[in-house]
Amino acid sequence: MQGFLFSEDEQRLPAEKNTGDRSEKLSRLFDTAKECRQCSLAATRINFVFGEGNPSADLVVIGEAPGAEEDASGRPFVGRSGQLLDKILLAAGFARQEVFICNILKCRPPGNRNPLDDEIRSCSPWLIGQLQIIKPKIILVLGKVAANTLLENNLSLGAMRGKPTRWKEYDCFITYHPAALLRNPEWKKGCWQDIQMMMRHYEIICGKERDRKNATT
C-alpha cells in the first residue's frame, strides 16, 4: 500500500480556514460519495459510513474501516469501541461532536478483514476530500493499519506511537485502536500517554483559538 493514498497531483484547497461553507461542502461531498460503487465493498455493505462531527474540527480522528455495528448504523465508531473512544476523547477534554470522526474506508470489509490496496486506492478521494474541507490541525490515527495506510509506511505501531508525525500540513498522532484496547486493557496506559502528548501539542497550536471559541459560546 505504498505511495498512492495522497498523490502528488492532489489539488488542495486554499490554506486559510473558510468556516462559513465547510458544513455545506461536507454535505455536498456526502451526497456524492454515498452512492459510491468504486470497489467491491459496495456490494456487501449495509450502509455507507461517511463519518460525522464538527466540519470545522481542529482534530480529526481516523480509523481503518467500519465494523459490523458501524455498517448496521451508518455511523463511525459506535458500539463498545465507539463508547471507549468517546471516553478517551472526553478525558482529553473533547465532546464527540467537537471533533470529526471517520475511517479510511467508508464501507465495511467482510469479516472485518484489513482493507485491500485497491479498496484504499478507490476510497482515498473521499477521505482526501473530507480533510481538504475540514482542514484539521491535528489528526489522531487509530491503529496500525490506519497509520500504515495514511502515512504510507510499514512500521510497527510501537515505532509510530509516542511522537508527532508531520504529514502534509497536519501533525498526526498515532495510538491504539479502541477495539485493540478492549482486547488488551493493559495497553490503555500507553494510549493515555499518547493522548496526553497529543493534547499538549494541541494546546500549543490550538489553545488560544479554542479559548476564544469557548469564551464566545
Residues that bind ligand SF4 (CB under 6 A): 36-39, 41-42, 48, 105-107, 119, 122-123, 126
Question: Residue 88 or 109: which CB sits closer to ligand SF4?
Answer: 109
Smallest gap from Cβ 11 to ligand SF4, in A, equals: 19
Distance CA 179, CA 105 (A): 17
What amino acid is encoded at 198 in this protein? M
Q: Strand pairing partners for 165?
A: 172
142, 62 contact by CB (below 8 A) = yes
Residue 141 corresponds to which cell in the numbers above? 490515527
Smallest gap from Cβ 75 to ligand SF4, in A, equals: 15
Smallest gap from Cβ 123 to ligand SF4, in A, equals: 3
Question: Residue 43 or 204: which CB sits closer to ligand SF4?
Answer: 43
Smallest gap from Cβ 19 to ligand SF4, in A, equals: 27
Smallest gap from Cβ 6 to ligand SF4, in A, equals: 15
104, 60 contact by CB (below 8 A) = no
Cell match 470497489: residue? Answer: 39
Question: Residue 116 or 155: which CB sits closer to ligand SF4?
Answer: 116
Which helix (H) or strand (E) segment is 50 a member of?
A: none
Which helix (H) or strand (E) segment is 167 a member of?
A: strand 165-167
Distance CA 162, CA 75 (A): 29
Question: Residue 94 or 100: which CB sits closer to ligand SF4?
Answer: 100
Question: Residue 121 or 201: which CB sits closer to ligand SF4?
Answer: 121
1, 120 contact by CB (below 8 A) = yes
Smallest gap from Cβ 44 to ligand SF4, in A, equals: 9
Question: Residue 28 or 37: which CB sits closer to ligand SF4?
Answer: 37
Distance CA 55, CA 77 (A): 17
